[in-house]
Chains A and B, each alone.
Chain A
Amino acid sequence: MKFKDSLIALIVLGICLVWAVIDGGAASQGIGSALRLMTPLLLACLAGLYSERAGVFDIGLEGKMLMAAFTAASVAYLTGSAWLGLLAGIGGSLALSLVHGLASITFRGNQLIAGVAINFLASGLTVLVGQNAFGLGGRTPALTGAGRFQPITLPFADALRDVPVVGPIYSGLISGNTILVYVALLLVPVTWWVLFRTRFGLRLRAVGENPASVDTAGVSVTRLRYAAVAICGILCGIAGAYLATGLSAGFVKEMTAGRGFIALAALIFAKWRPWQALFATFLFGLLEAIANLYPNLDLGFITIPSMFMNALPYILTVIILAGFVGRAIPPRAGGEPYVKER
């Protein structure tokens, strides 16, 4: 990996280190929080990565996550099972993915417009159905017990708690998260492996760069793109389910709060690569965690208001999308429906 490629990782680790030196206790707490806040971003970012690497731009990540959060929370509440909720979340998100696939692959529509439509659809549908079903103004009832994903204590977490340095990191950070956090982290190397070490990954990347090469090699462009869009749906489903049944305890209107778009920004920041996606989304998680921990950051000579702190992730998004962090070259065939030429 070239130095430039590991820049994000260095920035993120640098921030963590400085924070730990200044205020060890708060840093441990904050970094743990950042990890949890990163999880939905990371899942959505990887979701987008599959789709866009296959040449299907997807600005409907937000809508799919929102739909998944709603279906997951509803089913988890009705059944009392977070796992069934997860399945429902994946189902809800997949349904929207299918819409996106139909519009942009089969009917060769505009991928951006299809994505916008999905966002609107999810935004309206969740509140409408939620109000109709639960009468709580678009919310779902609060989830308790098995309706939520609970933190898992890893082995030896308690025994190692008092060991210096290793103790807080293992017990406080690594242990004690819900299963979906570990799933998201595990998906990073898995995605890398799938993309760069398997036949499916080779074809997926090829179809996003030059679908004609895949077509003339006798492989179906349509099938590959549908597969990618479906994977995107599944990962968005997990992300949404985590939001509603892991991070929070139920669905709230517009609870994704732009995370789908932040994930897209992180994807560009990461230049459509899985490891970089991990660090990029962690940076966003970190900013969010800092804002939560220090609502009014007092720097001695000036106090930064909370509104500014809360806006940090969005400001970073704008900076990234405006191209201030170097040119990111998207997959060459991205956004273009494939039409066989003469």
Chain B
Amino acid sequence: MTAASDMMGGRSATTAPAAIELRGISKAFGPVQANRNINLSVPKGTIHGIIGENGAGKSTLMSILYGFYKPDSGQVLVNGQPITIADSQTAIRAGIGMVFQHFKLVQNFTVLENIILGVEDGALLRPSLSKARGVLKQLATEYQLNVDPDETIENLSVGHQQRVEILKALYRQADILILDEPTGVLTPAEADHLFRILEGLRDEGKTIILITHKLREIMDITDNVSVMRRGEMVASVKTAETSPEHLAELMVGRKVLLNVEKTPATPKAPILEVRNLTMTDIEGVERLRGIDLNIRAGEILGLAGVSGNGQTTLLEILGGYPPKGSKVGGEIRMNGAPLPIGGRGCDAAQRRRSGIGHIPEDRQVEGLIMDFAAWENVAFGWQDAPEFTKGMLMDNAAIRADAAAKMERFDVRPRNPNLAARNFSGGNQQKIVVAREIERNPDLLLIGQPTRGVDIGAIEFIHKQIVALRDAGKAILLVSVELDEILALSDRIAVMFDGRIMGERLPGNTTTGELGLLMAGVTDTDHTPENAGIPPGTAHVDDLPQEPV
């Protein structure tokens, strides 16, 4: 074995330097450490996957490579040469092209105009346009990247718009192509076409970095894969030597086992029944493919899964606010009565009246109005309640008193109802939301990522509240990407993958390994040796720490 093939990847037998090498990259936004001491080496002519959950720091890392952010420390090497990427222009000159998750295209420009923007050959457009037309024709035949050069972007499908982004990078003679969540907006057929294009590009010697949280894509087309978790690069392995469940485990992480004291559940009558729930979003992508769920009074159903597999959509529909432009089908029953799933009468207020409480996944966007005071936030959703109103006016004194009492009971610190939500720490912000929803005594509580970005003390407190609510005979749907949280709290566990429920397990009768398989979309029937035979830990792993610090 030569030194070069020892380097993970090893497609080339030469001693050529890596296309991209990162040494000790760190980047913080205020108190949030988005990237911590990242090391990465991407060999030339390979497809390298970077996988991790939302918020793991993947996009920040790539933005550093594209000159959007300056790293606080660390070094970037392109083709073996140290380089300071101060802006996008430098990145482009170094041969780095970026396809963003949200396309950076001018909607009412033609394909050609978008492609030459920023790399025009002179002050006049005509020569640049005709040159680009020629280059485009050549690229189209070379890589199956057909797009009508004179079509306006807004008339193109999302898949074609993405091709324009790729063409933009190639027109700038990028040798290293970074794609950020490229399949998020694509139909499966479009995604397959994209993969063929990427393989063609690799075979021409281009280096491709694919950022995603979808395990299937990683397994399908990457040569190597690096896993990020909470701002750290936790592993870099050859794709052929790993398995989906191993990657899922690395992504989600194995934390110290959470200890929640709870008695066995004594479930009673069904509260929520979901039958064949489907959802197609505005882009025509199927996000939910027939969900069936039952939650009974006095039990916690944990919904596990890698983020982005439809959990958010499910919560939004159950919460009464399906994404704009989406088509929802199926049936939802609450205490036996059907709930509207779209159109008139389907809103969060209606859900609340039906006895549903909701702790949304993103407290800063959906749970709170950050610039409003805590007491106002505690009243939201119930501002029309008789005890909060005096005729047509709000009874601010009553709301304040109510907020103060709830903050006392939920130990929100500082205990100042007049403070804006933004001035509380993450854990205390979450406690405000939890207090608001639990204190209303809902029959069903929807909980999304209850402890994301919450300190350990608050986690324990919130978990206790959830269990107490269950013991009071309420039904709880707990959606979390933290497997340990699911295992510690749930009475039953359902695993979601690609808009489907892959299966249900009882927490006492399952293992993280089994759940990891389900989270990776592997059911018992296609539990084939090649994607399940390798026990975690035997694959080659970089000498980076595997456990979170």
Contacts and interface: CB of A to CB of B under 8 A. Distances in A.
Interface stretch (B87-95, B486-494, B509-517): B87-95
B385 interface: no
Please report whether the interface of chain A is mostly helix, strand, loop or mixed according to DSSP.
Answer: helix
Contact of A210 (B98, B105, B122, B125): B105
A203 interface: yes
Contacts of B108: 209, 332
Contact of B124 (A199, A210, A217, A342): A199
Interface string A167-182: 0000000000000000
B107 interface: yes
B63 A217 contact: no
Contacts of A340: 68
A196 B329 CA distance: 47
Interface in A175-226: 196-203, 205-206, 209-210, 212-219
Contacts, number: 73
Contact of B118 (A198, A209, A218): A218
Interface string B257-299: 0000000000000000000000000000000000000000000
A213 B122 contact: no
Given A210-B104, A213-B105, A213-B106, A218 B123 contact: no
B92 A218 contact: yes
Interface in B114-138: 114, 116-120, 122-126, 128
Nearest to A207: B106
B122 A216 contact: no
Interface of B: 59-60, 63, 66, 68, 87-92, 98, 100, 104-109, 113-114, 116-120, 122-126, 128
A240 to B, nearest CB: 30
Contacts of B106: 205-206, 209-210, 213
B123 A198 contact: yes
Contacts of B88: 215-218
A205 B116 CA distance: 13
Nearest to B87: A218
Contacts of B87: 218
Interface residues of A, number: 23
Given A199-B124, A200-B123, A217 B117 contact: yes
A219 B118 contact: yes
Given A197-B125, A210-B105, A218 B114 contact: no
Given A216-B104, A342-B60, A206 B125 contact: no
Contacts of B116: 202
A224 B306 CA distance: 42
Contact of A216 (B100, B107, B128): B100
Given A197-B125, A197-B126, A217 B107 contact: no
A29 B145 CA distance: 61
Contacts of A332: 107-108
Interface string A284-321: 00000000000000000000000000000000000000
Contacts of A215: 88, 104
Contacts of B114: 213
21 contacts: A198-B123, A198-B124, A199-B124, A200-B123, A202-B113, A202-B116, A202-B120, A203-B117, A206-B106, A206-B109, A209-B109, A210-B104, A213-B106, A215-B88, A216-B66, A216-B88, A216-B98, A217-B92, A217-B117, A219-B89, A342-B59
A332 B120 CA distance: 23
Nearest to B119: A217
Contacts of B113: 202
Contacts of B123: 198-200
Nearest to A200: B123
Contacts of B91: 218
Contacts of A214: 117-118
Interface centre among B88, B91, B117 (most CB of A within 10 A): B117
Interface centre among B68, B106, B108 (most CB of A within 10 A): B106
Given A214-B117, A218-B90, 7 more contacts: A198-B125, A199-B120, A206-B106, A210-B107, A213-B114, A215-B104, A217-B117
B75 to A, nearest CB: 22
Contacts of B90: 218
Contact of B107 (A197, A199, A201, A209): A209
Nearest to A219: B118
A153 to B, nearest CB: 36
B68 A199 contact: no
Interface pairs A-B: 7 shortest CB-CB = A217-B118, A218-B89, A213-B104, A199-B120, A218-B88, A216-B104, A209-B106
